[in-house]
Structure 1
Amino acid sequence: MLDKKDFKPVTLADRAFFENHYALYPQTHSDNTFTSIICWNHFMHYRYAYVRGNVILVCTAAGVTRLHPPIGPHDPELMQEVIRLALDMGDNNKPLMLIEPETAKLMKKIDPDLLFVPDLNHFEYVYRAHDLAELPGKKYLKIRNQINKFRKNYHYSVEPITPENQKEIMEFLVRWCESKNCEDNFILAHEIEAIFYAIEHLTELRLRGLLIRVGLQVSAISLFERLDSNTAIIHFEKGLPEYDGIYKVINAETAAVLANEVEYINRESDLGVSGLREAKLRYHPHHMVEVYSLKRRTGFPFVT
C-alpha cells in the first residue's frame, strides 16, 4: 500500500528519469514539468514515488501538503491509494491538485462521490504561436501600436541567452528585483530564486532563452522550452519597468522564434493575480489547460 515513506526528494540528478517518463506520458501543465519542479523546489519541496510505472508527486509549500494524480498507465487501484493518501496527509481543504478533466472522469468512475472544484488560478493560457508573433487583425491593434512605439523610442537588439551572457543576466535580475521590491513580496521573493536557479542550470535543464538589450544594457529576458512536439512553454519572462512596452516586445520576439517550431505557446497561469490575468486575456488565448482540485466533503471519508 502506498505510504508517505515511499516518496523521495526530487533532485537535479532526476532530470533524465523525468524526461524519459514524460516522453511516454507527455504533460500539458507546466507545474508537472521537471523544469518547474526543480526551479521551485526551494519553496515547494517536491518529492516523488515511482509505483507500477506511475510517477506520483507531492509538494509541501508554506506548511501545506498536496498530492498530484499518478502520471502513467491508468491504474484504478493505485488511484484509490493516492486518493486515500492525499486525504490522510494532504491539505485540509484540497488535498489533491492539478487534476485534468479526463483524469477527473476516471476518478469519478472509481468513486462517484468525489467532489472536484476548478482551480482557476492554475488554469494555463495557450496561444497560437503565429498569433503572438504576428499579432494579426484589429484585436491586436493596441499591442502592435505599443510595440511600434517602443521600437521608435529605443534602440534595442535581441540575442540568445548563453553561458557567456549569464553574468549580465544575473545583474539584470537584481535590478528587476529591486524595481519590484521583491523582498517585500512573498511570491516575487521566491520567483526570483527560481529564475536564478534556471539561469545557473540553463545547460543541465536544456532551457533556451532570449534577451533584449536597450543600448548595451540587458533589459528583458524570456526562458522557454519544448513541452511536447507541438507546444512550447514560457517559464519566465521579465523586463525593466522603465521601458514602456518591453514586455510586449520580448513576448513578440520570443513568439517569432517559436512560431517556426511549434503551433502553440503555453504562457502558464496567472496565479489569480488580477493584473496578470487581464494581461494574458488581452492576447486572446486559443484555449486553456484546465485543472481541478479534489475537495473534501462533509462526512466520511471527507471532512471540511
Structure 2
Amino acid sequence: MQKLLLKDYDKIKPYLDDADYEGYNSNFVTMMMWDHEYEIFYEIKENYLIMLHTYMNEKFFAMPFCKPEYYQEALEYMLEYANKHNFIFRIDLAVEKFKILIEELYGNKFLYLHDEDFDDYIYSKVSLETLSGKKMQKRRNHFNAFLKEHPDYIYKEIEDEDIDNVLQCLKKWDFSRRIEESVVSEYIGIVYLLVHRHELNIKTGCIYIDNKLEAFIIGSPLKHSTIQIHVEKANKDIRGLYVAIGKLFLEQNYENYEFVNREEDMGLESLRKAKRALHPVKLLKKYTIILNNQTINQASDKDLYNIIDLWRSSFEDEDEKSTNFYFMNRYQKENTYVLKNNDLVVSMLQIIPYTLIFNEKEEDVYFILGVATNKTYRKQGLMKKLMNYVLSLSKYQNAKIILQAYNPELYYQFGFSQDYYHKVTEVDNNLYEDNFLIKTANNNDYIKLLNLYNQFCKKYTGYRKRNIEYYQNYLALRCEAFDEKIKVFDLNNKSIGYVIYSEEDVVIKISEIIYLEQAYLDMIIGHFMIFDKKVIIESDLKAIIKGDYKYVCTMMSNFLENNFQDNNFYINECL
C-alpha cells in the first residue's frame, strides 16, 4: 500500500466516482483534512481501490471504492490482507446502501453495528439558505437581529491575508475552553484546508464586524447534489452570527445543489440538539462491519472490567456508587454468562438463585438480572442467542425463573409473561394529615426489620424469603449506594412498619413500604406530610393510598401464568 497524498486525487477520482457513496467520509477533502490523525494508505487493483486507516494503533478499512459488482472481489482481498497483516478485519462508517448489498452477499458472516452518534445529518439547502417556513422562524429572528445590530458586516471569501485572523479566532474560541486532543486535531485539519484551499475543491467564507473576523466556514461538493460543511465557526456571543455565516455561504455558492451534509453529532448532547433544531430531511445511517465470530461462556476473572463497562453503559439509572455496590456485594462470575465477538464482551446475562415462599413452603427459583448488549451490537440477535444458550443449560431447563425487564416484549418469545405489578402512587397530600402519634425507631434493629417483613407477608400466598443477613449486610449497604434511607415506625411501643426512601429537594420517593395493617399505612404516609413535599410511593397492590396511581410491571415469570396479579404474591427485589 502507498500513502495517500494530495497529488493522488486524479488517480483515485475514477474509483471514488464509481463508488458514488453519500457519506461525507468518502469525500477526498475530508480524507486530506483528517489524514494527519488517521494516516490513510491506499492500494489500487484493476476493479477497485481500498483504503486503510490507522487510529490509536488500530487499523480499519474504508468501504472499497468500486462499482457494486466488484464489492465481493474487493472484500475478499481486504479479508485476506487483514489476515496476512495480523489485524482484526473492520470496515468503519459504511453507508446503508453498501451494508445492505454486503448483507445480501455474505449473510451472517459479518455483524453490522449501528451507532447513531456517527450518522450524517442531511438538510435541504433551500431551507438553510432562505430560512423560509414556520420551522425556521427562530433562525429568521436571529438572522434579522444580526442584520439590525450589525448592518455594516462584511462577508467575503477567505484570502491569504485572512488566514492569520482565522487562526487567532480559533485559538480564542476553542482553546479558551480547554485544549483537548480533538480540538488540536481539528485545528491542524483546518490549517491544512486553508493552506491547500486552491488545490482542493473547496469554497470558503468569512464575516468581519468592525474590521474584526468573527466567523468563517469551509465547504466542498459531494455526490448526490449535496454540499458538505467541513468547518463552521463563529463568535457565540454575537446573536445570529452562526445563522448568518451559513446562510450567506449557501447563497453565494453551489447554485444547483439540493442538500447540505453537516456531518455527525459524535454523541455530544449539545451538538445533537443544535443539529436537530435545523430540521434535517434525513439521517444517513453509518455502520461498522466486522466478522461475526461469537462465543458464549461462563464469565471468567478477566471478563470483569468488560462486564462492568457494559453494565454502566446499559443501565441509565446506575451510577458509579451503585455499580460498585453491586459488583462488590452481589456479582458472582459463576452466575454470569457472556457472549463475545472477537474476544470482546458484547452481551451478558446474570442469573442468581432465589428462594420464594409458596403456601408456607420454600421453593428454589432463579432470578435473571443484568441482561445487556452493547448498544452498537443490538438488533443482531445476540441477546436472543445468549438467552437461548443459558435457558438450554440442564440446570435451567425446567427451572422456575423470574426476571425484571425494561422491555418486556423482548422476553415473550422465551416463555415469560408479565405476571407481577406494583402500584406507583403520587400521594394527594390534601387527603392526609400530619401524624405525630407514631415515632421513628432504631433503623439498625435488623431483627425488627425482618420480623416486620415476615408479618407483612403473611397476607400473601407467596413472597421472597429474606433473612437477617439480607437486612444486616445487604440492605443497609444498598441504601447507602442508592442514597436511600430506612425509617422504622412505632406506635405505643409497638413496631408497625418501615419504609425505604430517597429524598430530593421537592420529592420523597418511597421504594418499599411495609405495614402491618391499613390504618398503620395511613399513619406512616401522614408522617411524611410534615415535609411538605411531593410523595411518590411504590407499593404492593393491596395498599390503599389516596392519590393518582398507575400499575407498573416489575416482574415476569415463566411459571405463574399471571397469578401474581391476583394480589396474593409480594416481591420487591431488584438485586
TM-score, normalised on structure 2? 0.48
Cross-structure match for 1:171:
168
Whole-angstrom CA distance in 1 between matches of 2:161 and 2:13? 26
> Where does residue 77 of structure 1 map in the other structure?
73
What is the 5 A alignment of 1:86-105?
86=82, 95-105=90-100
Q: Does 1:201 find its partner at 2:192?
A: no
Q: Does 1:115 align with 2:111?
A: yes
Distance in 2, matches of 1:164 and 1:32, equals 31
1:3 alignment partner in structure 2: none
Q: Kindly tell me: are residues 296 and 101 of structure 1, through their superposed partners in 2, closer, same or farther at Cα, counting changes over 3 Å?
A: same
CA offset at residue 130 of structure 1? Answer: 0.5
CA distance in 2, matches of 1:285, 1:207: 23
Between stretches 21-30 and 280-289, larger displacement belongs to: 21-30
TM superposition shift of 1:124: 0.7
| Residues 125/90 of structure 1: CA separation in 2 closer, same or farther (3 Å cut) | farther
Whole-Å separation in 2 of the counterparts to 1:296 and 1:50: 24
Correspondence for 2:159: 162
Partner of 2:225: 230
Displacement of 1:210 in angstroms is 0.6
Aligned equivalents of 1:78, 1:21: Cα separation in 2: 12
Alignment of 1:239-250 (within 5 A): 239-250=234-245
- State the distance in 1 between where 2:102 and 2:49 align: 17
CA change 1:260–1:90 in 2 (3 A) is farther
Higher share of residues assigned helix: 1
Gap change, CA 1:60 and 1:80, over 3 Å in 2: same
Matched, 1:151 2:147: yes
1:58 to 41, 52, 59: 52
Q: Residue 58 of structure 1 contacts residue 66 of structure 1 at CA under 8 Å; is this kept in 2?
A: yes
Unaligned runs of at least 5 residues, structure 2: 296-340, 345-575
User: Of the two, which has the highest radius of gyration?
Assistant: 2
Q: Is the 8 A contact 1:232 1:258 kept in 2?
A: no
- In structure 2, C-alpha distance between the alignment counterparts of 1:86 and 1:289, rounded to whole Å: 28
Q: Which residue pairs with 1:36 in the alignment? A: 30
What TM-score does the superposition give when structure 1 sets the normalisation length? 0.88
Q: Which residue of 2 aligns with 1:11?
A: 5
1:130 corresponds to: 126
Structure 2 letter corresponding to 1:106: L
- Summarize the Cα distance change of 1:91–1:98 in structure 2 as closer, same or farther, 3 Å threshold: farther
- Quote the offset at 1:285 in angstroms: 0.8
Measure, in 1, the Cα distance between the counterparts of 2:10 and 2:254: 27
Residue 84 of structure 1 deviates from its aligned partner by 4.8
Mapped partners of 1:91, 1:210: distance in 2: 42
Q: Deviations over 1:93-133 (max 9, x none)?
A: x8221222222222223321121011322211111111001
Please state whether the residue corresponding to 1:284 is helix, strand or coil.
Answer: coil
> How far apart in 1 are the matches of 2:224 and 2:287?
25
Which residue of the partner structure matches residue 277 of structure 1?
Answer: 272
Gapped regions of structure 1 (runs ≥ 5): 1-6
Structure with greater contact order relative to length (CA < 8 Å, sep ≥ 6): 1
CA contact (8 A) 1:65 1:90 kept: no
Aligned partners of 1:179 and 1:241 also within 8 Å: no
Matching residue's letter, 1:242:
D
- In the alignment, what sits opposite 1:255? 250
Local SS of the residue matching 1:204: coil
Q: 1:21 to 1:297 in 2, by over 3 A?
A: closer
Q: 1:265 — aligned with what?
A: 260
Cα offset, 1:259, TM superposition: 6.1
Q: Distance in 2 between matches of 1:91 and 1:139?
A: 48
Pair 1:217–1:90, CA change in 2 (3 A): farther
Q: Number of matched residues? A: 295
Q: Distance in 2 between matches of 1:290 and 1:87?
A: 28
In 1, the alpha carbon distance for the partners of 2:29 and 2:262 equals 14
* Cα 1:176–1:81 shift into 2, 3 Å: same
Amino acid at match of 2:284: V
Secondary structure in structure 2 of the residue aligned to 1:199: helix
Higher strand proportion: 2
Distance 1:32 1:259, change over 3 A: closer
What letter matches 2:175 in structure 1? E
Aligned to 1:25: 19
Aligned position for 1:213:
208
